[in-house]
Amino acid sequence: MNFSPPKGTDDIFPPASRAWRRALMIWESLAERYGYDLVIGPVFESTEIFARGVGESTEVVQKQMYTFEDKGGRSLTLRPEGTASVVRAYLGSGVQGEVKLAYSGPMFRYERPQAGRRRQFYQTGVEYLATAAPDADAEVIEIGYRFLEEVGFDEVEVALNSIGDGECRPAYLAVLRAYLNDKRGTLCDDSVRTLETNPLRVLDCKVCAPHLTDAPNAVDFLCDACRLHFDAVQVRLGNTGIPFRLEPRLVRGLDYYTRTAFEYIATGFDAAQNAVGGGGRYDGLAETLGGSAVPGVGLAMGIDRILLAAGEDGSDIVPLDLFVVVASPERRETAARFVSDLRRAGVRVDMAPQQRSVKSQFRAADRRKAAGVAIIGDEWDQGRVIVRNLATSTQTEISVEEAAEWAKSNR
Ligand code: HAM
């Protein structure tokens, strides 16, 4: 039996998982502070949600989907991303008007695995639905930036672009197509195939893009409404102190984007996979899925990549407040009840799973980086317990009722 996880997947095991837990807790707190309600959807969807939503000509749909037929003959796909599912859920919910939703969970793409590029990876994201206002774009961009700040990044850049909308994009695509047709001989097979149907994809092609530095940029073709929107996003970002860099080459790998597109680049991380998050506006996605016109903007942060770029190996164990040392076997039941009560009182506390020598229990307390120990001995019969601060080795006797407060103040 081979105990390795499948290719391109990871076991997020301690100590690494400690950094994950911390990052996910930061994310939850941030999403709540910004007013995003939680949405939890299925991990698989009808294949057509992604084929239509993400776009037939994208690499994700053409090459990377985990698609299978279930026993009922339905074509299902493990979600390669969250946005199309969330928009589907919104359309199905019957909810009207603006909604702010946050989600997190594993996504699946059949990629060539490497550091920061996995077949199962974890995203946290938000979608701000049913508003076309530029303030929503700026807010979403801000959340991702604050998240990276709170996780501990100091070198991060927001790359920002606008790729226009149904009004101005056709004219831009015509010019881009003509430009690419001139270069046809230098393009890879995939790009030649998508040149007619979806020329923007060519600008996202890792092979071709570096040779297309003089290609026309969408931002130079924006209509007045898109230009105003883009300007307003930039003003709001400036006002809230989010540094950004205009990146006219940024087109993103999914087809649903309109107007704003952005990515977070971990500049201190010297690797190909330094885009630690990204997103944008997708005003046409709901209609592509067969729903009414529901504008929206959102982002997804790649947790695997963020922790890799941050160099987080999670080696710092979350310290216990208290380790309960049981002096003799007949006091184990009492101690277990004591531990249970302390946990309900909000104390991070543990004890050994079976009776061991007192010395060995003290060693366990050290290993778990406990701030203190409580020793359950003969004093218990008088409702008292000995507590010791492990940093200073000072010891005192307190009443059992005082133990929770003592543990919290001794953190
Ligand atoms: P995305 O750029 O495809 O956008 O993915 C967002 C982030 O997920 C990336 O920046 C990266 O950090 C992480 N990621 C993507 N693929 C992998 C992989 N194979 N291995 C590790 N990490 C990966 C979206 O998925 C959009 N749904 C974002 C969005 C939300 N747009 C609007 N709303």
- 347 and 387, same domain (yes or no): yes
Beta-carbon contacts of residue 211 (< 8 Å; ≥ 6 apart): 183, 186
CA of residue 367 to ligand 1 center, whole Å = 37
CA of residue 27 to ligand 1 center, whole Å = 16
- 56 and 154, same domain (yes or no): yes
- 262 and 390, same domain (yes or no): no
- 96 and 241, same domain (yes or no): yes
- 162 and 36, same domain (yes or no): yes
Q: Which domain holds residue 331?
A: 320-409
- 259 and 350, same domain (yes or no): no
Distance CA 244, CA 262 (A): 9
Alpha helices in 183-215 (DSSP H): 189-197, 200-203
Shortest CA distance to 156 belongs to which of 243, 263, 270, 266? 266
The response to whether residue 299 sits with its C-beta less than 6 Å from ligand 1 reads: yes
The response to whether residue 280 sits with its C-beta less than 6 Å from ligand 1 reads: yes
CA-281 nearest atom, ligand 1: 32
Beta-carbon contacts of residue 139 (< 8 Å; ≥ 6 apart): 34, 128, 236
CA of residue 121 to ligand 1 center, whole Å = 9
Query: What pLDDT, on a 0 to 100 scale, did the predictor assign at position 154?
Result: 81
CA of residue 97 to ligand 1 center, whole Å = 26
Q: Which of 7, 58, 81 to mutate to test the pocket of ligand 1 (most atoms within 8 A of CB)?
A: 81
The response to whether residue 144 sits with its C-beta less than 6 Å from ligand 1 reads: no
Q: Is residue 35 part of a domain?
A: yes
Pick the residue whose CA is nearest to atom 20 on ligand 1.
Answer: 117
Q: Is residue 155 part of a domain?
A: yes
Q: pLDDT tens for residues 364-400?
A: 999 999 999 999 999 999 999 999 999 999 999 999 9
Q: pLDDT tens for residues 333-349?
A: 999 999 999 999 999 99
Q: Is residue 70 part of a domain?
A: yes
The response to whether residue 295 sits with its C-beta less than 6 Å from ligand 1 reads: no
Pick the residue whose CA is nearest to atom 15 on ligand 1.
Answer: 302
CA of residue 208 to ligand 1 center, whole Å = 21
Q: Is residue 214 part of a domain?
A: no
Q: Is residue 196 part of a domain?
A: no
Q: What CATH number is associated with residue 81?
A: 3.30.930.10
- 382 and 273, same domain (yes or no): no
Pick the residue whose CA is nearest to atom 13 on ligand 1.
Answer: 302
- 349 and 235, same domain (yes or no): no
Q: Which of 121, 128, 148 to mutate to test the pocket of ligand 1 (most atoms within 8 A of CB)?
A: 121
Tell which of 252, 277, 310 closes a domain.
Answer: 310
Distance CA 371, CA 388 (A): 9
The response to whether residue 28 sits with its C-beta less than 6 Å from ligand 1 reads: no
Pick the residue whose CA is nearest to atom 21 on ligand 1.
Answer: 117
Residue 357: count of CB within 10 angstroms of its CB: 9
Q: Is residue 1 part of a domain?
A: no
Q: Is residue 92 part of a domain?
A: yes
Query: What pLDDT, on a 0 to 100 scale, did the predictor assign at position 343?
Result: 98
- 359 and 272, same domain (yes or no): no
Residue 305: count of CB within 10 angstroms of its CB: 25
Pick the residue whose CA is nearest to atom 25 on ligand 1.
Answer: 81
Tokens found for residue 269: 């991380």
- 231 and 324, same domain (yes or no): no
- 297 and 357, same domain (yes or no): no
User: What's the maximum distance between 2 C-alpha atoms anywhere in the chain?
Assistant: 91
Contact 385, 379 (CB under 8 A): yes
Pick the residue whose CA is nearest to atom 33 on ligand 1.
Answer: 298
Tokens found for residue 411: 């953190």
Number of folded domains that form the chain: 2
Distance CA 180, CA 196 (A): 9
Query: What pLDDT, on a 0 to 100 scale, did the predictor assign at position 206?
Result: 85
CA-111 nearest atom, ligand 1: 19
Q: Is residue 211 part of a domain?
A: no
Q: What CATH number is associated with residue 392?
A: 3.40.50.800
Residues of the chain with pLDDT under 50: none
Tell which of 263, 282, 310 closes a domain.
Answer: 310
The alpha carbons of the chain give a radius of gyration, in whole angstroms, of 27
Tell which of 263, 280, 310 closes a domain.
Answer: 310
DSSP, res 37:
E
Query: What pLDDT, on a 0 to 100 scale, did the predictor assign at position 89?
Result: 98
Q: pLDDT tens for residues 89-148?
A: 999 999 999 999 999 999 999 999 999 999 999 999 999 999 999 999 999 999 999 999
CA of residue 192 to ligand 1 center, whole Å = 25
Amino acid at 111: E
- 392 and 246, same domain (yes or no): no
CA-119 nearest atom, ligand 1: 19
